[in-house]
Structure 1
Amino acid sequence: MSNLIKPIDYKPLLDMKQTEQGIKTIKEFFQMNLSTELRLRRVTAPLFVMKGLGINDDLNGVERPVSFPIKDLGDATAEVVHSLAKWKRLTLAEYKVEPGHGVYADMNAIRADEELDNLHSLYVDQWDWEMVMKEGQRNLEFLKNIVRRIYSAILRTEYLVCESYFEIKPFLPEEIHFVHSEDLLAMYPDKTAKEREDLICKKYGAVFLIGIGGELADGKPHDGRSPDYDDWTTGTAPGYRGLNGDILIWYPVLGRSVELSSMGIRVNPKALLYQLQITGKTEREKLYFHKRLLAGELPESIGGGIGQSRLCLILLHKAHLGEIQSSIWPDEMRKECRKYGMTLI
C-alpha cells in the first residue's frame, strides 16, 4: 500500500463503458500497426511450459513461477510463463521465419511475487514479439531503428484515441530520446536508478534507456536482466555496453516515468556463455534452450515485450491498472483507490 500513488483531483475522462471500448480500439489498432511496421506474423502462444527446459523467462532471477503437476505426465511440473522471451526464438526456428520478418503473440502471465501498485499487477499481458535479424544488423543503430518504428506505432495509436474521444488530449512527444544508462548515471550520480529514470523522462517525455543488466561505473547494474536472452555485455562504443534497453515515457497523470517495453538484440553463443559465466549460471548450458542456441540452431534475433494494459492505461489517461484489467487487489487498496477516483474492475 505504501507504493500506491494517489493523484490529487484525479477524475477518469471516460466511463467504464467507454473505457472498455477504448481498450478494444487500442489493442486492435496497435497490434495491426506493430505487425505491419516490423513484418510480424501472429502466432499462438503457450500459457505454461515444462519446468527444467530453460524456456521460461527468469526475469531478475528471484521471482517464483506459478507451477502445477500434470497428471497425465506422471506429475511432471509445468510453469506458468513469466514472458515468452526464449520461447519466441525457438518458434522462429521451428517456423523457419526468414530474415527481416518475425512473430508476435498475445502473452498472458501470472507473476505472483509482484508488489502491487498503480502499475504492477499479478496478471501481465504483453505483445511479445521477435524478429530474425539480417547479417550485419547486430549493432546499436539497428536497435535504435526498431525502437523508433515501435514508438511511431504508439504515436499513431495515440492519435486514433484522441480522434475517438475528444476528452483525451495527446501528450507524447514527436520523437523518442536515446540515452545510455552509463551516461544517465554520470548525469545524476547521487540518485537511485528509478529517480534517474524519472528525471530524464520528465526532461524529454519519451526515452529509450540503453544498456540494462551490466554493471555500471558505480559497480551496480541499472536494473536486473536474465543472462540468457538480451545481450547486455556486448560493447556499443568504448566504455559502453548493452544492445538492449527500455522504452520509458513521462506520465503526467501519475507524475512519474512508466516503462512500456523491455527489448533488445538477443544473445549469440559468445554473449550467452559470457553472461552465464559472470552471473554464475553456467549450469544452464545443459538446458534444452541453451544447448540449441549454443549449437547454432536458433537464428540471430531482436525482440521484446510491450505491455498491453500499460499502453491502454497511458493512452486512456487512467491512474491504476485496475481500471484497465480485471485482477486481484488488496481490499484496502480498493478502498483507497475509490476515495481518489480510481474504480478498480
Structure 2
Amino acid sequence: MSKLYVPKNYKPLLSVKETEKAIVLLKDFFQLALSTELSLTRVTAPLFVKSGTGLNDDLNGVERPVKFPVKDMNETQVEIVHSLAKWKRMKVTELGLESGFGIYTDMNAIRADEELDNLHSLYVDQWDWCMRIDENDRTIDCLKEIVKKIYRVLKQTEFFVYDRYENIKPCLPADITFVHADDLVKMYPGKSPKERETAFCKEHGAIFIIGIGGKLSDGTIHDGRAPDYDDWITPGPDGRPGLNGDLMVWNPVLDCAMELSSMGIRVSKESLKSQLEERGCPERAELTFHKKLLNGELVQTLGGGIGQSRLCMYFLRKAHIGETQVSMWSEEMLRECAENNIAIL
C-alpha cells in the first residue's frame, strides 16, 4: 500500500513552473551561503565507485547498492554511491587542505531499498561537505559550532525565499536546540525514537540530536549508523557516547519532524576499531579505505550531507519530495497525489 500522507486541504503555494524556477534560485543561494560560512571549495564527485574498496556508504549496513560490471575493465564491478561520507575524507587528504577549510559537492545517489513516502525517494541528491579539523577539535563544542553556522545559513535561506515569495512565511525559530539522544529516552519513556523526535521537534521547531548510533542508557540506539565514518562511540565530556547527530526541523505542511542533515566528527583510528568490533564487522579493517585510515594516511575531518530536494521541499512548503525532484513512484501513489493537488514532477 502507498505510504503517502495527504495534508488536509493541501494546495501548493507555487505553480509547477514557479517551483522549477524557485528550486534553481534556492539551490544557488544556499550552496554559495554554505560554502562561504564553512570555507568550503566545490569539487566534482563520482556517481559510482569500485566495489570492495569500502568507499561506499553502507548506511545501516543492510541496504543494497546498485551494482553493474564495466565491460571495458574486465567486468570490474562498480556500485552507485549511497553517499560520499568516506570518499570526501580521502579527497580532503588528497587536496592537502589546512584545518578549518573543506570541500562540498553535488552528490547524486540511488537507494534502491528505500521505503518510498513523502520524504523518501529512490533518488537522493544532497550537498555532501567535509572539512579538515585538528585532533584537539574532536569535541562536541566544535561540532555544535558548525551546526550553528549551518543553521544560520538555513535562516538566511528562509528569508531569501520569503523576500521573493511573500506567501511563504518564515517559521524557523531564532536558535536551534541541542539535545542528546539519551536525554530523549528519559524525557519520553515508553516512546519510540521517531515519537521522541516528533515530540521534541514540535516543541522547539529546530533541533540537533547528538549521539546517533551509539548505545544509550537503556541499551538501545536512537538510529542506525555505519561504523566507519561518523564517530558515535567516543564519549563527550558528560561521558555519553557520540560526536555526531541529526539536524531536524518541524515541517508545518506534513506536521512532522523532518531531517534535513546528518553530520559528525569522523572516526579516529581508535574509534574505527571499536565501532567495527561493536557492529561485528572487524573484517572491514582490510578494505582499502579502512587500511588508509588505520595506517594514519587520512587527515581528521568533520562532515555531513544536506538534502537538496528536502531543503527545497521544506522552504517551498511542498507536501511531497516528488514536487522538487524527478524520481519513480508507484501508480497508486501517483494517483493519490493527482487526486490531492500534489504535483509530482
TM norm. shorter chain > 0.5: yes
Counterpart residue number, 2:338:
338
Counterpart residue number, 2:49:
49
Provide, for residues 82-125 of structure 1, a one-character-per-residue CA deviation record: whole Å limited to 9, x for no partner: 00000000001111111110000000000000000000000000
Counterpart residue number, 2:109:
109
Counterpart residue number, 1:270:
270
Shift of 1:341: 1.3
CA distance in 1, matches of 2:162, 2:91: 36
Counterpart residue number, 1:293:
293
CA distance in 1, matches of 2:6, 2:220: 31
The alignment partner of 1:237 has SS state of coil
Q: Which amino acid aligns with 1:124?
A: V
Higher mean Cα deviation, 46-55 or 131-140? Answer: 131-140
Contact 2:108-2:123 within 8 A present in 1 as well: yes
Q: Which amino acid aligns with 1:95?
A: L
Counterpart residue number, 2:223:
223
Provide, for residues 194-241 of structure 1, a one-character-per-residue CA deviation record: whole Å limited to 9, x for no partner: 010000000000000000001112221100000000000110134411
Provide, for residues 11-70 of structure 1, a one-character-per-residue CA deviation record: whole Å limited to 9, x for no partner: 000001110111001100000011000100000000000000000000000000000000
Higher mean Cα deviation, 216-225 or 251-260? Answer: 216-225
Counterpart residue number, 1:191:
191
Provide, for residues 266-321 of structure 1, a one-character-per-residue CA deviation record: whole Å limited to 9, x for no partner: 00000000000111110011100000001111111000000000000000000001
CA distance in 1, matches of 2:250, 2:292: 40
Q: Which amino acid aligns with 2:176?
A: I
Q: Which amino acid aligns with 2:46?
A: P
Counterpart residue number, 2:177:
177
Structure 2 gaps, min length 5: none
Structure 1 gaps, min length 5: none
Q: Which amino acid aligns with 2:73?
A: L
Counterpart residue number, 2:211:
211
Contact 2:2-2:333 within 8 A present in 1 as well: no
Residue correspondence of structure 1 range 303-342 to structure 2 within 5 A: 303-342=303-342
CA distance in 1, matches of 2:344, 2:232: 37
Counterpart residue number, 1:251:
251
Counterpart residue number, 2:39:
39
Shift of 1:9: 0.5
TM superposition outliers: structure 1 runs of 4+ over 3 Å: none
The alignment partner of 1:230 has SS state of coil
Q: Which amino acid aligns with 1:189?
A: P
CA distance in 2, matches of 1:307, 1:272: 26
Counterpart residue number, 2:20:
20
Shift of 1:3: 2.6
Q: Which amino acid aligns with 1:206?
A: A
- Give the total of aligned pairs: 345
Shift of 1:135: 4.2
CA distance in 2, matches of 1:266, 1:336: 41
Q: Which amino acid aligns with 2:16?
A: M
Shift of 1:2: 4.7
Output the aligned Cα RMSD.
Answer: 0.8
Higher mean Cα deviation, 210-219 or 79-88? Answer: 210-219
Q: TM-score, normalised by structure 1?
A: 0.99
Q: Which amino acid aligns with 1:39?
A: S
The alignment partner of 1:235 has SS state of coil
* Percent identity for Structure 1 against Structure 2: 58
Q: TM-score, normalised by structure 2?
A: 0.99
Provide, for residues 230-258 of structure 1, a one-character-per-residue CA deviation record: whole Å limited to 9, x for no partner: 00011013441100000001111001000
